Structures are given as C-alpha cells and as structure tokens.
C-alpha cells in the first residue's frame, strides 16, 4: 500500500514521502525541487529566496517558479516581477 499524495510541484500523485515526485526531483534536483515547492506554497519565502540569490540564479529560479505556477493551474503568481525574456 502506498499512500497517495499529490506532488507539490506538478500535482501528479506520488508515493514519495517528501511530497515531490521522482520526475520533478530528477528534472530540477531534489534540493531545488523542495525549495520550489516551498516557495510555491509561501510567497514571502519565495520573495526572500529571490532576493538572496545572485542574479543568474534568481532568473532561473523565477522562471522555474512561474513554470510551476502554470503547472499548478493557479495563475495567481505573485512572485516579484516576471523574468523578462526572449
């Protein structure tokens, strides 16, 4: 029996105890995935992360966050300004 919970990033049911599916952890790395998941749940944590990161990393983090928000289906991203791109 595996407890079924939704991945905190992509909402796919997973049996992982940390609430992050294998696909997300592989795609981003376990540490980044868990930071992202926390940032998604807590916008003040997200802002704090963004502020404390060096510019390159901040851009990537902001981008990953906005992608995750899209995956979440909740369009209410309030994480700083969107990365300007392309």
Q: Which residues bind Zn ion (CB under 5 A)?
A: 7, 9-10, 21, 24
The three state secondary structure string of 13-26 is: EECCCCCCCHHHHH
Q: How far is the CB of 3 from Zn ion (least distance, A)?
A: 16
Cβ contact 30:47 at 8 Å: no
Q: How far is the CB of 29 from Zn ion (least distance, A)?
A: 13
Q: How far is the CB of 42 from Zn ion (least distance, A)?
A: 18
Nearer to Zn ion, 7 or 36 (CB): 7
Q: Supply 61's token pair.
A: 């983090």
């Amino acid at each position: 029996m595996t407890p079924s919970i939704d991945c905190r990033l992509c909402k796919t049911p997973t049996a992982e105890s940390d609430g992050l599916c294998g696909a997300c952890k592989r795609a981003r790395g376990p540490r980044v995935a868990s930071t992202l998941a926390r940032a998604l749940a807590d916008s003040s944590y997200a802002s704090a992360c963004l502020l404390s990161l060096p510019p390159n990393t901040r851009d990537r983090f902001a981008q990953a966050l906005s992608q995750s928000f899209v995956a979440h289906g909740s369009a209410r991203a309030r994480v700083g300004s969107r990365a300007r791109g392309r």
